Amino acid sequence: FMPQIKAINHEAVVVEDMEKSLAFWRDALGIELHELRDVPAERSRVAFLPLAGAEVELVMPTTDDSGIAKYLAKRGQGMHHLCLEVDDIDSMMTQLKSKNIRLINEEPRTASDGKKYAFIHPESTGGVLVELYQT
Ligand code: CO
């Protein structure tokens, strides 16, 4: 059995000004804003813009000390990560380890909604932070 990547789930972009970013993604491009909400656990505000089964997510820090705020201070605005949907995250992670791919999470983490996810280090991906997600 080989684990399979099924789809692009979302692409996350770090922004410093949500309204300015929505002026581009929502107003200029015309992608519908599905939801805008605060995520207190991550000390951030997230905008969800679904698009053909995938989603653009805009992430803005709401405090100066969050992980996303530190990322923004260090690297500036831009693409944060690409999330790929996988049918079996456990076997995919075993497969990646066997190929010496550097992982950020050695084991999948469980989100508040019960879904499993894990991040792959950009060093092994050509510079892109990749998230794996099992629905
Ligand atoms: Co994500």
User: Mean pLDDT score of the chain, rounded to an integer?
Assistant: 95
What does the pLDDT average to over 37-65? 94
Alpha-carbon span 125 to 48, nearest angstrom:
25
Q: How far, in Å, from the CA of 103 to the mean position of ligand 1? A: 15
Q: pLDDT at residue 81 above 90?
A: yes
Q: How far, in Å, from the CA of 10 to the mean position of ligand 1? A: 7
DSSP character for 103?
B
Question: Is the separation of the CB atoms in 21 and 80 below 8 Å?
Answer: no
Q: How far, in Å, from the CA of 11 to the mean position of ligand 1? A: 7
Whole-Å CA distances, 67 to 33, 59, 89, 121, 124:
25, 11, 24, 16, 21
Show Cβ contacts of residue 2 under 8 Å, excluding neighbours closer than 6 positions: 91, 95
Alpha-carbon span 34 to 57, nearest angstrom:
10
Q: How far, in Å, from the CA of 13 to the mean position of ligand 1? A: 9
pLDDT of residue 113: 84
> What are 104-133's pLDDT values in tens digits?
999 999 987 889 999 999 999 999 999 999
Q: How far, in Å, from the CA of 80 to the mean position of ligand 1? A: 9
Q: How far, in Å, from the CA of 30 to the mean position of ligand 1? A: 22
Q: pLDDT at residue 1 above 90?
A: no
Q: How far, in Å, from the CA of 54 to the mean position of ligand 1? A: 12
pLDDT of residue 101: 98
What does the pLDDT average to over 29-53? 94
Q: How far, in Å, from the CA of 99 to the mean position of ligand 1? A: 23
pLDDT of residue 62: 96
Measured between its terminal Cα atoms, the distance across the chain in Å is 18
Q: How far, in Å, from the CA of 84 to the mean position of ligand 1? A: 9
Q: Assign 34 a pLDDT band (cuts: 50, 70, 90).
A: very high
Q: pLDDT at residue 69 above 90?
A: yes
DSSP character for 27?
I
pLDDT of residue 44: 94
Q: How far, in Å, from the CA of 83 to the mean position of ligand 1? A: 6
What does the pLDDT average to over 51-63? 96
pLDDT of residue 10: 96
